[in-house]
Amino acid sequence: MPTWWHGHPIHTLANQLANQAFPFTLGPMAFRIPYLVTLSMLVSGCAIMHATQLGEIDSATVLNGQPFEIRVSELGLSLEDAAMIGEAVAKQYGYGAEAGAGGDIIALFQTGPKTGNPVFRDDYTDHIGDLLAQECPSGKVTGLMAIRETAQYPVISGEIVRLIGYCAKD
């Protein structure tokens, strides 16, 4: 490993996360495994399903009709992850406690139930009805499946609502 890497914030963060997630290691070579696993987790994405609802199905329309999919999404921000990274970086400069306090204050302003990561506007799904009317102006819609999911990445996420259905051909 180059010498500049050992002081890099991502290296420090990955080490701290690895130590917290995997406190028990089995010797000098084993420490690399949790470190690599944690690093790979930081750069990977994850799809999370929160809710799925299925409506009435008219089999003839589903088999012969036109499928459509509507997808709306908004950027979600995990302030816990951001605060953790900020605290890890601030610790390098001796301000870890202050950064933690700042993160706690921000968290107090975001009290409440959450599904996925919080977003900064709650009306990003309001135009789904208009999109559906565009996809199927006749209104002969069946087999509607509504999915609420999250595409999870480190710190940020995509908060997604998908609507899949079938429109009868005129």
Partner 1 sequence: MKKSAFLLLGLLFSGCVHMRSISTTSIPAARDKAIQAEAYRFLFLLINFNNQYVDTLTRDLAQQCPDGRVEGILTKQEDIVYFPFFAHAVRVTATGFCVTPSSTSSAPEPSPAVAPAANEAPSGDVEK
Partner 2 sequence: MRPFLGSALIALTSFGCTHAVHLNHTSDFRTTKHLSEYRRIETRSEQVVILGIVGQTDYADDAYRRLMNQCEGGHVTGIQTRYSTSHNFLSWKNVVEMKGYCSQ
Contact residues toward partner 2 (CB under 8 A) are: 50-51, 53, 55-56, 74, 77, 90, 95, 98-99, 101-103, 105-106, 108-116, 118-122, 124-126, 128-129, 132-133, 136-142, 144, 146, 148, 159, 161, 163
DSSP state of 117: S
**Spatial separation of the C-alpha atoms in residues 128 and 142, rounded to whole Å:** 16
3-state secondary structure of 164: strand
- Distances from the Cα of 9 to the Cαs of 23, 84, 91, 92, 129, in angstroms? 20, 12, 10, 8, 45
Closer to partner 2 by CB, 46 or 106: give it. Answer: 106
Long-range contacts of 24-27 (CB under 8 A, 24+ apart): none
First and final C-alpha spacing in the chain: 65
Q: How far is the CB of 46 from partner 1 (least distance, A)?
A: 22
Buried b (16+ CB within 10 A) or exposed e, 104-125: eeeeeeeeeeeebbebeeeeeb
Closer to partner 2 by CB, 29 or 122: give it. Answer: 122
Closer to partner 2 by CB, 43 or 123: give it. Answer: 123
**Which helix (DSSP H) or strand (DSSP E) does residue 124 occupy?**
none
Closer to partner 1 by CB, 8 or 50: give it. Answer: 50
Q: How far is the CB of 55 from partner 1 (least distance, A)?
A: 8
With CB under 5 to 8 Å by kind, the binding choice for 170 among partner 2, partner 1, none is partner 1
Closer to partner 2 by CB, 46 or 104: give it. Answer: 104
Q: How far is the CB of 74 from partner 2 (least distance, A)?
A: 8
Q: How far is the CB of 68 from partner 2 (least distance, A)?
A: 12
Q: How far is the CB of 132 from partner 2 (least distance, A)?
A: 7
